[in-house]
Amino acid sequence: MTVALIGALLLAGQVKHVWDGHAELAALRAHGLHSRAQASLTTSCTQGRGISCQTSSVWLDFIDADGDSVSVPEEAIDGSLYVPHGHRDAEDRVATTVVYDRANPYEAQPAGALDQSVLDLAAHRWIAWTIALALLGGGTAGAIAAWPPRPTPRRPA
């Protein structure tokens, strides 16, 4: 039963993370301002069975609505960065568009990140979902299997 409870708590935590990411994106969609930007990407590559590259940080440089120059690291949404795509210049920058709240331009996101759906956000955490569901299912099955059997009624002789 304890394993099922742990699985249920992990599952609830995953739902909360996805909900928070969805709410953050919805707020930017509804009230965000758009601005042209340059995204500076920090990418590291490893070689194993092939070359595998992963972007570890994205810096967004843009001019906000007040004319101020803003340089800010992209905050991960639901634990994952959105990496702007396109032609990289000699300094490894990609032209993109950012969306930000005028009250706080330092929480800007690349506009492409707003295209993520709830399923996209959930897919970022597929390992955690799998573990939570396995614990919940296994714990529930174990609890049912360990449930004491019903006594069989005695037949009168």
C-alpha dihedral over 99, 105, 107, 112, to 10 degrees?
10
Residues ≥6 apart with Cβ < 8 Å to 140: 4
pLDDT 10s digit of each residue in the chain, 157 long? Answer: 788 888 888 888 888 888 887 887 787 778 788 999 999 988 888 888 888 888 888 999 999 989 999 999 988 876 777 888 888 888 878 999 999 888 888 888 888 887 777 777 777 777 887 888 898 888 888 888 888 877 777 777 6
Q: Whole-angstrom Cα distance, residue 120 to residue 137? A: 24
Would you say residue 151 lies in a domain?
no
Q: Which pairing describes strands 51-63 and 104-110: parallel, antiparallel, or unpaired?
A: unpaired
Q: For residue 145, is it within any domain?
A: no
Domain that holds residue 103: 21-137
Q: Is residue 112 part of a domain?
A: yes
pTM above 0.75, yes or no: no
How far apart (Å, rounded) are the C-alpha atoms in residues 27 and 59? Answer: 21
Whether 55 maps to a domain, the answer reads yes
